[in-house]
């Protein structure tokens, strides 16, 4: 493995709007905080895109022998969670746990590595109270009628992440009881009938959304850490307010900010309010988990990903073409050990996680490997397959990874059944060729071709595979 000191990773920092060399706070160690799910309902593919995108970052760092502390929180106390649980007549904690498990299943299905730790907001309230006290003591927050607010005008750097001017700030929350300025945001909400509450020096209540992440990030990664990740929609107000809270309390907070683009439909962000939700379980009825992950991770993490059934199908077929090559090599030569990624692949990922260029390199190696298979050069084919496994492992979709074995049980059975039928046709074709009955040989080939079956004549006899891109 490469030494951590040898990495040349560059990342686009939202705060400075520049591509910067990544230099960790502590040599050999990387600390990352990812804003996780607000567990209000079933996860859709837009929700899990950040999990996939930054799982690639984590895997790339791990591949360079970094010790990565990866924290992904669960927001289980929030207005939407409380409103939906109340409307359903269910306890808020039961509702939150139900959908926390749904998110867990989605992440696991897509092969996203579990976080180093996954704190829940409801379990971290004491740290939030401590953070509010520091803000009040430093003159950046005030209590009023049981609520606690952050005084935006007290923080000179407010807007430095998003570029918002103070006069243009709209927090997207109600005016609030006792709020001095509409631009101030809520740290603590006074108790309301039927809602959960905790005791504080300022009265009973519950935390505001922004406060939760600042407290959890500092608790588990320290006052200063390497990378804060999340969706583009969180830049303002959520991440802007996180910075204000942390800096206002005396913590340097995140050194680099990374934001992934949305999954869109018809040019609009996928969200429940737009009614264009595609839940992960429903999409997994159309494609296999590794194919969905390949699709979600195939675009650059900062770009928008416009969803369509056709785009999903094209991505699935593209993955199947890569998978088919690796499986063909395994069938021919046996074990395919994981090799080393190519320099072009490394250069692509080091350039702000350039997955599209990295995948172009994967496909180039697959083409090279297929040519080796056709010529009977098993040694070259095996080397290419090892490289492909290495690169796909970084992207989380290595076809031979044990994680996908259970997901592919049905697919394997279907493949085996299909193989029996196709082998019978190939025997018939071979016999026709030996008998010089070219019309029957051509008929078999054309029928298989029309069905999306590609036949390759090799020194070891004919081999078949599903066409990629179909």
Please, what are the domains in the chain? 4-282 (3.40.50.620), 310-407 (1.20.120.640), 413-470 (no CATH)
Burial status of residue 131 (CB atoms within 10 A of its CB: 0-12, 13-18, 19 or more): buried
178-211 core/surface letters (b: 16 or more CB in 10 A; e: else): ebeeebbbbbbbbeeeebbebebebeebbbbbbb
Question: Is the CA virtual torsion 9, 12, 15, 18 positive or negative?
Answer: positive
- For 328, 335, 382, 468, the CA distances from 378, given in Å and listed in that order, are 11, 12, 6, 22
Query: What is the torsional sign of CA 302, 307, 310, 312?
Result: positive
pLDDT tens, the chain, 470 aa long: 344 445 699 999 999 999 999 999 999 999 999 999 999 999 999 999 999 999 999 999 999 999 999 999 999 999 999 999 999 999 999 999 999 999 999 999 999 999 999 999 999 999 999 999 999 999 999 999 999 999 999 999 999 999 999 888 889 887 678 899 999 999 999 999 999 999 999 999 999 999 999 999 999 999 999 999 999 999 999 999 999 999 999 999 999 999 999 999 888 887 766 556 789 999 999 999 999 999 999 999 999 999 999 999 999 999 999 999 999 999 999 999 999 999 999 999 999 999 999 999 999 999 999 999 999 999 999 999 999 999 999 999 999 999 997 655 444 455 556 767 788 788 788 888 888 888 888 888 888 888 878 777 765 677 776 664 43
The Cα 72–Cα 116 span in angstroms is 8
* pLDDT, tens only, 224-234: 999 999 999 99
Contact between residue 207 and residue 128 where contact means Cβ atoms under 8 Å apart: yes
pTM, two decimals, is 0.86
Which spans in 302-408 are helix H? Answer: 309-333, 343-350, 355-375, 378-395, 403-407
Take residue 188 and report the two structure tokens written for it: 């603590």
Residues 16-46 have pLDDT tens digits of 999 999 999 999 999 999 999 999 999 999 9
Q: 330, 306 in Cβ contact below 8 A?
A: no
243 Cβ contact partners less than 8 Å away, ≥ 6 residues apart? 157, 160, 161, 253, 254
Nearest to 330 by CA among 381, 405, 387: 381
């Amino acid at each position: 493995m490469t030494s951590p000191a040898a990495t040349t990773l560059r990342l686009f920092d939202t705060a400075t709007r520049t591509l910067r060399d990544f230099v960790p706070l502590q040599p050999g160690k990387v600390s990352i905080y990812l804003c996780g799910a607000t567990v209000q309902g079933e996860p859709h593919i837009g929700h899990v895109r950040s999990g996939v995108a930054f799982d690639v970052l984590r895997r790339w760092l791990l591949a360079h022998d970094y010790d990565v502390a990866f924290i992904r929180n669960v927001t289980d106390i929030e207005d939407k969670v409380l409103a939906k649980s109340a409307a359903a007549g269910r306890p808020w904690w039961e509702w939150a746990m139900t959908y926390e498990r749904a998110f867990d299943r989605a992440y696991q299905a897509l092969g996203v590595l579990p976080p180093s730790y996954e704190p829940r907001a409801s379990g971290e309230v004491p740290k939030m109270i401590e953070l509010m006290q520091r803000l009040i003591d430093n003159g950046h927050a005030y209590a009023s009628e049981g609520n606690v607010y952050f005084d935006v005008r007290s923080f000179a750097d407010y807007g430095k992440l998003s570029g918002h001017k103070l006069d243009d700030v709209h927090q997207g929350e109600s005016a609030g009881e006792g709020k001095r300025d509409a631009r101030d945001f809520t740290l603590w909400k006074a108790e309301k009938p039927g809602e959960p509450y905790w005791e504080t020096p300022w009265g009973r209540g519950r935390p505001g959304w922004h406060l939760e992440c600042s407290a959890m990030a500092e608790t588990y990664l320290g006052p200063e850490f390497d990378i804060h990740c999340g969706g583009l929609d969180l830049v303002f107000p959520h991440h802007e307010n996180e910075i204000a809270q942390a800096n206002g309390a005396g913590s340097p907070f995140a050194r680099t900010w990374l934001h992934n683009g949305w999954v869109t439909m018809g040019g609009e962000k996928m969200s429940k309010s737009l009614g264009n939700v595609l839940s992960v379980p429903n999409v997994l009825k159309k494609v296999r988990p590794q194919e969905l992950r390949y699709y979600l991770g195939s675009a650059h993490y900062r770009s928008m990903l416009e969803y369509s059934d056709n785009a999903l199908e094209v991505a699935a077929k593209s993955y199947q073409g890569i998978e088919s090559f690796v499986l063909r090599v395994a069938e021919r030569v046996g074990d395919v050990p994981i090799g080393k990624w190519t320099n072009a692949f490394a250069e692509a990922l080091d350039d702000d996680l350039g997955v599209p260029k990295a995948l172009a390199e994967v496909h180039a190696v697959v083409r090279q490997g297929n040519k080796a298979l056709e010529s009977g050069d098993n040694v070259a084919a095996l080397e290419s397959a090892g490289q492909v496994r290495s690169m796909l492992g970084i992207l989380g979709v290595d076809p031979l990874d044990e994680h996908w074995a259970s997901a592919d049980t049905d697919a394997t059975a279907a493949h085996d059944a299909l193989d029996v039928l196709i082998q019978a046709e190939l025997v018939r074709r071979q016999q026709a060729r030996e008998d010089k009955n070219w019309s029957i040989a051509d008929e078999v080939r054309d029928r298989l071709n029309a069905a999306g079956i590609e036949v390759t004549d090799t020194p070891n006899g004919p081999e078949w595979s599903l066409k990629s891109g179909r």
